Amino acid sequence: MKLLRAWALRLAGMLLQRGRERELADEIEAHLQMHSDDNLRSGMSPEQARREAILKLGGVESVKEAYRERNTVPFVENLLRDIRFSTRQLRKNPGFTWTAILMLALGMCASVAVFAFVDADADPAAALSESRPAGWRIRTCSRFVHDATSRILNTLTGRSSTKS
Amino acid sequence: MGDKADVWQGTLALMVLKTIEMMGPLHGYGIARRIEQTSGNLLSLNYGTLYPALLKLEQEGSIASEWGLSENNRKAKFYRLTRSGRKQLQKEARDWEQTTSILARFLSPSEDLP
């Protein structure tokens, strides 16, 4: 339950990051000021007091980094950043984008068309309608595609060829 | 994060909870100073590690925070113990005492063993 709560807050933390960031900066600043006040009282010079406070904190940026890592989910955050970056790149190169999309679409259409043929041919129900004058042209064509694909599939899977 | 850091995080959380329980609402700097004092300055605490630990405790609902004014009229974020934090503190303190007492038996075997 406690873990669940912590994770929900971390996911929410990703959305509310900006406000959180400022709050953390304020908190660290307050910390540094209180620490340098104490250092001043113990007789340091103002610069030395400040430097000593930062040193003891271990660096302002590294604290912020560790805090951020705890406040958000770094994996999801990186993923979102990657997606944003790639969409930006795609938008910058419309020529490439459209070529890629067209290639993928063509490839998918071709595979779907071929396998639809094969499927129709291998379908046992289709064998029953053999006598129907459905046009031998399509059947011969599909037989040819079927033979070719099953040969390819057989070599790919390493099976001995099974004649239909 | 290695094993060592995990153990350290665990003990740090317990120290933070106990310190807040003893002192009442306190800001990060105050907690850090107090932990060092309580340890008799044997512990050199990197103050920076405190803030992620505080955030973790807050996310788990053991402590709550609000802005207030420090003793020198500086704006600071004060952390206070919640009810579930108090419960967690009791449980963890008990666990820790048990662990140390078991270890103590190993380190200095007493005579009353059969």
Q: What is the per-residue pLDDT across A39-71, written as a single tens digit (0 to 9) for each? A: 999 888 989 999 989 988 888 888 888 888 888
pLDDT at A31 over 70: yes
Given pLDDT bands bounded at 50, 70 and 90, which one contains residue A87? very high
Domain boundaries, chain A: 2-86, 94-157
Least confident of A113-122, A132-141, B52-61, B97-106: A132-141
Is B75 within 8 Å of A24 when comparing Cβ atoms?
no
The SS3 of residue B70 is: coil
The pLDDT of residue B36: 86
| Three-state SS sequence of chain A | CHHHHHHHHHHHHHHCHHHHHHHHHHHHHHHHHHHHHHHHHCCCCHHHHHHHHHHHHCCHHHHHHHHHHHHCCHHHHHHHHHHHHHHHHHHHCHHHHHHHHHHHHHHHHHHHHHHHHHHHHHCHHHHHHHHCCCCHHHHHHHHHHHHHHHHHHHHHHCCCCCCC
Report the chain B residue with the minimal C-alpha distance to residue A71.
Answer: B55
> Which of A3, A34, A62 has the CB atom closest to B76's CB atom?
A34
Question: Which value does ipTM take for this structure?
Answer: 0.76
CB contact, 8 Å: A68 with chain B?
Answer: no
pLDDT at B11: 85
- Those of residues 45-64 in B touching chain A at CB distance below 8 A are 46-49, 51-52, 55-56, 59-61
The reported pTM is 0.65
